[in-house]
């Protein structure tokens, strides 16, 4: 107490109030470093904002979380604004309230008139609403059509600007882990698909002729003529028949005294097929387009083209299938049977209508009350072996190579062979060149199967 009294007496002696506070003996007992005031917590901390909490938080983190929740609590206490009522519902409610009012005299007439006006307004608003909805639906439909047109336009633009890939690009786009052999097989399959498509398109503008029924002199004359001379003779015959010779644009010789005429388009090809070619080119006739299918496992005593008459076979097949097919020709699949003593064989049935052939391929065919499932006849996918050079892919009639024996692989014809030792001319194995065990034949069989896989099983698709 004495110290306190002494301090209070010394304060007036100071001329400056600030100096008096600085020289206080009470402050001299504190450490030399000034104690910094604690940093205030972040965010507003007004007392009025904390009236909602029953007790004050003691932890800083709780205080901060409460301050962050204050706007939410305020929004919860704020009453929600009522959504505006639908105008039609408001008018209906007003009409109902007015109808419940008990009035008489002049007020009754006014009441009835007002209710009628409200009904008219409600009816008009409902009609406007229906028209508005219909207009919205029509707008949405037009918008949807416009979007579809934009997508179609973009698709067509991409298709037009798309660059056709070359074989090198196709090869470079194969799978990364694909081997060289698999890549080659993939390219071969793609090439076969393209060639098959081109072949079908070419057939639409081609007309096939045969001169088998021509005289020997005519056959010899045509054999010695080149395509240009044959083209001139055909055009002269067309002019004599009153037809436009410019409808044809080329001629090609084919094996077995055949000719293939190329027309400018499909319509001209149809007209050229109808010409009487016997007058334009002596002994020539049009080869009619036929569509065949192969039937395997047919009993020989049911159908045997070698012993039964052709007309009898055709009528029996047509009768067994309820006249749903018109048979043009029936022949065995192979000229030489591998096993002459076998009880079954494969036959090829031809018709002039591609749809009839496809129906038989898809649904099957009946032969003497037996049901068979045929397949499309694809002669270009059959194994063809030359008996002159023993190679595959061509026949001896058009072979230009040296004769090679199929038994001993020496340079002489097979029919003149006198050797007892067997040696294949293709794989050099101890067997004849035509044996089924030959590895070369296996490879050719696989090639033909791969070629068959890329061809459609039907004629009309």
pLDDT at 410 over 70: yes
Give DSSP secondary structure letters for 118-184.
Answer: HHHHHHHHHHHHHHHHHHHHHHHHHHHHHHHHHHHHHHHHHHHHPPPPPHHHHHHTS-TT--HHHHH
Nearest 5°: phi and psi at 315? -65, -35
pLDDT at 18 over 60: no
pLDDT at 199 over 70: yes
Nearest 5°: phi and psi at 350? -110, 145
Residue tagged 């049977």 (tokens): 337
pLDDT at 193 over 60: yes
Band the pLDDT of 56: cuts 50, 70, 90.
very low
- What pTM did the predictor assign? 0.53
pLDDT at 324 over 80: yes
Express each pLDDT in 83-122 by its tens digit: 444 677 777 777 777 777 777 766 777 777 777 777 878 7
CB 389 within 8 A of CB 451: no
Give DSSP secondary structure letters for 60-103.
Answer: HHHHHHHHHHHHHHHHHHSPPPPPPPPHHHHHHHHHHHHHHS--
Q: What DSSP element (H or E) covers 359?
A: helix 354-363
Question: Average pLDDT of 371-387?
Answer: 93
C-beta atoms surrounding 408 within 10 Å: 19
pLDDT at 433 over 90: yes
Domains with residue ranges and CATH for the chain: 201-286 (3.30.70.330), 291-377 (3.30.70.1820), 378-461 (no CATH)
pLDDT recorded at residue 68: 41
pLDDT at 342 over 50: yes
More confident residue, 145 or 174: 145
**Torsional class of 404: left (φ above 0), alpha (ψ -120 to 50), beta (otherwise):** beta
Highest-pLDDT range among 85-94, 139-148, 184-193, 337-346: 337-346
Band the pLDDT of 31: cuts 50, 70, 90.
low
106-161 vs 87-100: helix axis angle to the nearest 10?
160
**Bridge partners for 385 per DSSP:** 392
pLDDT recorded at residue 102: 73
What average pLDDT is seen over the chain? 78
């Amino acid at each position: 107490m004495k110290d306190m009294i002494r301090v209070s007496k010394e304060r007036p002696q100071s001329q400056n109030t600030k100096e008096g506070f600085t020289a206080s003996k009470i402050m001299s007992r504190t450490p030399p470093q000034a104690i910094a005031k604690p940093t205030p917590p972040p965010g507003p901390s007004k007392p009025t904002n904390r009236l909602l909490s029953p007790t004050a938080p003691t932890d800083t983190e709780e205080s901060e979380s409460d301050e962050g929740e204050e706007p939410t609590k305020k929004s919860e206490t704020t009453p929600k604004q009522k959504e505006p009522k639908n105008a039609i519902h408001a008018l209906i409610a007003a009409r109902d309230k007015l109808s419940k009012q008990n009035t008489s005299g002049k007020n009754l007439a006014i009441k009835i008139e007002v209710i009628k006006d409200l009904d008219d307004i409600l009816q008009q608003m409902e009609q406007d609403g229906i028209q508005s909805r219909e207009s919205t639906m029509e707008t949405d439909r037009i918008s949807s059509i416009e979007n579809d047109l934009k997508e179609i336009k973009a698709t067509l633009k991409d298709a037009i600007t798309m660059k056709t890939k070359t074989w090198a690009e196709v090869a470079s786009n194969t799978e990364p882990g694909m081997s060289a052999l698999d890549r080659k097989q993939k390219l071969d399959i793609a090439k076969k698909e393209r060639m098959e498509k081109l072949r079908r398109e070419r057939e639409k503008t081609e007309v096939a002729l045969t001169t088998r029924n021509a005289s020997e002199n005519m056959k010899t004359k045509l054999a010695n003529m080149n395509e240009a001379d044959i083209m001139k003779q055909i055009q002269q015959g067309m002019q004599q028949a009153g037809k436009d010779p410019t409808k044809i644009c080329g001629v090609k010789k084919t094996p077995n005294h055949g000719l293939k005429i190329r027309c400018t388009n499909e319509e001209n090809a149809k007209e050229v097929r109808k010409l009487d070619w016997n007058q334009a080119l002596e002994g020539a006739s049009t080869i009619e387009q036929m569509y065949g299918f192969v039937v395997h496992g047919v009993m020989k005593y049911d159908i045997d083209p070698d012993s039964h008459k052709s007309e009898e076979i055709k009528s029996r097949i047509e009768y067994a299938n309820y006249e749903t097919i018109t048979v043009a020709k029936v022949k065995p699949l192979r000229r030489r049977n591998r096993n002459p003593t076998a009880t079954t064989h494969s036959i090829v049935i031809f018709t002039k209508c591609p749809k009839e052939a496809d129906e038989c391929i898809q649904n099957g065919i009946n032969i003497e009350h037996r049901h068979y499932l045929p397949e499309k006849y694809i002669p270009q996918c059959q194994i063809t072996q030359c008996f002159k050079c023993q190679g595959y892919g061509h026949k001896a009639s058009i072979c230009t190579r040296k004769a090679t024996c199929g038994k001993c692989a020496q340079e002489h014809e097979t029919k003149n062979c006198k050797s007892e030792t067997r040696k294949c001319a293709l794989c050099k194995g101890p067997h004849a060149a035509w044996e089924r065990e030959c590895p070369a034949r296996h490879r050719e069989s696989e090639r033909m199967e791969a070629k068959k896989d890329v061809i459609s099983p039907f004629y009309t698709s």
